[in-house]
Amino acid sequence: MNVSGLGGLNKSPHGVVVGLVQLQLPVVETPVQLAAQAERICALVGKARRNLGTMDLVVFPEYALHGLSMSTAPELMVSLDGPEVTAFKASCVAHRIWGCFSIMEFNPHGNPYNTGLIIDDQGEIRLYYRKLHPWVPVEAWEPGNVGIPVCDGPKGCKLGLIICHDGMFPEMAREAAYKGAEIILRTAGYTAPIRHAWTITNQANAFQNLAITASVCLCGSDGNFDSMGEGMFCNFDGTVITVGGNRPDEIITAELRPDLVREARAVWGVENNPYQLYHRGYVAVQGGAQDCPYTFMHDMVAGRYKLPWDGTVQVRDGTPCGFAAPSRSYRGPEPNPFEPEV
């Protein structure tokens, strides 16, 4: 099952070659540094193309542009029509490659969004995602409100994107797979204490959804934090295809086979988990039990989700990390401007 094609050197007609950039953790505290880091990312798009002529998609980690300062200073925030995204688009066109990028996006209605973009080799935004689960209580980003989109990717694959802490919630990868994602990207800025959880969730997200996961963190030190790199590809049976170490700017590559994902989803009986979730016990009853036996799902929809130990939860806002307690409510979902309405 571990078919990597020597990292994409021997590409099959059905393969999609992905590169995960273990980007050196930057220091970005001024607009000048922001501009310089955008240039550096574009240069690494070029490196990815030169590194492997068969590469279809290059993926940069969360915080690749902004570093881990967590600053929400307006002068450092980015817009979709600003110079940084314009440069990313141009680099994808110039090097004939798809790219996945991270920006902290200005939000006129509140705190900035932690936004992920997938841009195709024609310079068009194909996927736009706002991180649903900021890493509380550390991150001050506005909670995402445009859902979990999926897009058509290179060579006809289906791509999904979740960001960092999102991957700790099994519902996130399940939603991406439910919407058709065959390759689920996960970008992150995680540091070493999360190493074990990173590994097991990347594998579990793959196996539970019969999907390939491709995940990457920032790498190296900025003088305060140490990110762990560890680009990681997991096949749809949960096995690790390949994993990187902690060498900054190394590009970890693999040839992925979404056609085999489609085959498994169609022909597996045992452990065809996405299908069997809603068709449980189909050997005993016709079509299986097609109900929703999960109390937490019913309670979330009804607005009454409450843990049995809710009264003991001590951290409920960002005040332990120096943020003022918020005074406004969540605005609710809005249409994704880059996803067709269904």
**Residues with a known catalytic role:** 62, 131, 164
* Token pair listed for 48: 């990815």
Count the Cβ atoms, other than its own, within 10 Å of residue 309: 7
Report helix, strand or coil for 35.
helix
Are 234 and 241 contacting, i.e. CB atoms less than 8 angstroms apart?
yes
Q: Closest Cα partner for 293 from 272, 310, 277?
A: 277
CB atoms within 10 A of CB 28: 23
- Measured N-to-C along each axis, helices 31-51 and 83-94 cross at an angle, to the nearest 10 degrees, of 10
One-letter amino acid for residue 162 of the chain: I
β-partners of residue 331 are: none
Residue 271 CB partners (closer than 8 Å, separation 6+): 207
Q: Which of 191, 190, 68, 37 is nearest to 141 (CA)?
A: 68
Rounded CA gap, 279 and 286, in Å? 9
Quick one: which H or E segment has residue 86? helix 83-94
* Cβ atoms 100, 55 nearer than 8 A: no
